[in-house]
Amino acid sequence: MFSKSAFAPLAVLLAGLLPGMALAGIQTEEIAYDHDGDEMTGYLAHPEGDGPHPAVLVIHEWWGHNDYARDRAEQLAREGYTAFALDMYGSGKLADHPSTAGEFAGEIRENRDLMLGRFQAAYDWLRAHDASADTAPSAVGYCFGGTVALEAARAGMDLNVAASFHGGLATEHPAEVGKVSAELLSFTGTADPMIPPEQVAGFQKEMQEAEVRYTVVEFSGVKHSFTNPGADAIAEEFGMPVGYDARADHDSWNHLLGVLRDRH
C-alpha cells in the first residue's frame, strides 16, 4: 500500500506491520478513520508513558501519505508531541510519478471544501485521542501539505501553529483580520521556481494586512523539497527542480521546534 523508499527507516516499515509497537521511547500505530464515507489511513506517534501531550498534525507532500510523513511524525513524538500523519487522498492513494501526484493534489486544491473537510476529520480524530492534550493542536505540512496547513489557518481553524515547509503560499482565500488564531511559519528556498519571490512577497503582504503573527524564512540557493532526503533521487529520476539541503532541513526543523515550545 505504501511506498517503501530507500531512505525510509526500517523502523517505519515495521511499524506499519506491527500496530502499537514501541520505537525508541515512542509508541506508533497505523489508524483507519473516515471522512464522508471515504476510508483514510493515518499514522499516530506519541511518547511512551504518561500523557497527554501537545498534538501536531503532519500533512504529507503531493505524493501522498508515505513513509516520509510517518518519519516526521516519529521525530515530533521524540520531541514530546502526539503527532498524527494524516491522509488527504484516501487509503491506498499513493503516487509514484509527478503526473499522478499532480492529479491527486490538484483534486484537493481545486475543492476547498474537500480539503478543509479532510483536514477537519483528522483534526477531530486527533483532538479526541487520549494521548492529545486538551489544547489546540498545530499543523505541519510539506510541499502540498504546507499549502493545506496554511489554508486551514486562513479558514480560522483553532490551531496553535501552522507551518509550511516549501509549500505554496498563494491563495484565493486570503487571511482576514481577527480570523487567524495560529502563528504561521513559511520555510522556502530562493532557488525554488515553484514558490517565486513575488509569491513570498504576496504572502508577507497578506499576513501584514490581516495582522497575523507570522515568520518567513528563505534559504539562499535552496531548492524545492529541501527537507526530504529523497529529493535528489526524485530530481534525477524525473528531471524535477528539487533537491535536499541538510543545513536548511536542520535549521528549519529547529526553528519549528522552538516555536512549538513557545506556543504549547
Question: Residue 237 belongs to a domain with what CATH number?
Answer: 3.40.50.1820
What pLDDT does 50 receive? 79
pLDDT at position 16 over 90? no
**pLDDT (tens digit per residue) in 38-67:** 999 999 999 998 789 999 999 999 999 999
Task: Inform me whether the pLDDT recorded for 197 exceeds 80.
Answer: yes
**pLDDT for 51:** 86
Residue 259: inside a domain: yes
Region of poorest pLDDT, from 1-15, 123-137, 193-207, 217-231? 1-15
Strand bridging mode 183-189 / 55-59? unpaired
Q: 139 or 18, which is more confident?
A: 139
Mean pLDDT over residues 138-147, rounded? 98
Tell me the mean pLDDT in the region 65-92: 97
Q: pLDDT tens across 97-119, in order? A: 999 999 999 999 999 999 999 99
Residue 24: predicted pLDDT? 61
At residue 13 the predicted structure's pLDDT band, cuts being 50, 70 and 90, is: very low
Helix axes 98-109, 144-154, angle to 10 degrees: 10
Q: Where does the pLDDT of residue 4 fall: very low under 50, low under 70, confident under 90, or very high at 90 and above? A: very low
Structural domain count, the chain? 1
Whether residue 120 is contained in a domain is answered as: yes
pLDDT of residue 17: 38
End-to-end CA distance of the chain: 34
* Sign, CA torsion 161/162/164/169: negative
For β-strands 183-189 and 82-85, DSSP reports them as unpaired
Does a structural domain hold residue 2? no
d(CA 184, CA 204): 11
Whole-angstrom Cα distance, residue 156 to residue 176? 9
Q: Which amino acid is at 69?
A: A
Is position 146 within any domain?
A: yes
Answer whether residue 23 shows pLDDT above 70: no
Give the bridge partners for 36, in sequence order: none
Indicate whether 3 belongs to any domain. no
Residue 4 forms part of a structural domain: no
Higher pLDDT, 16 or 149: 149
DSSP string, 223-255: -BTTT-TTHHHHHHHH--SB---HHHHHHHHHH
- Give dist(CA 229, CA 233) in Å, integer: 9
When pLDDT is cut at 50, 70 and 90, the band that residue 131 belongs to is very high
User: What percent of the chain stands above pLDDT 70?
Assistant: 91
Which residue range(s) make up the domain with 138?
10-263
Residue 5 included in any domain: no
**pLDDT in the model for residue 136:** 97
* Any domain includes 103: yes
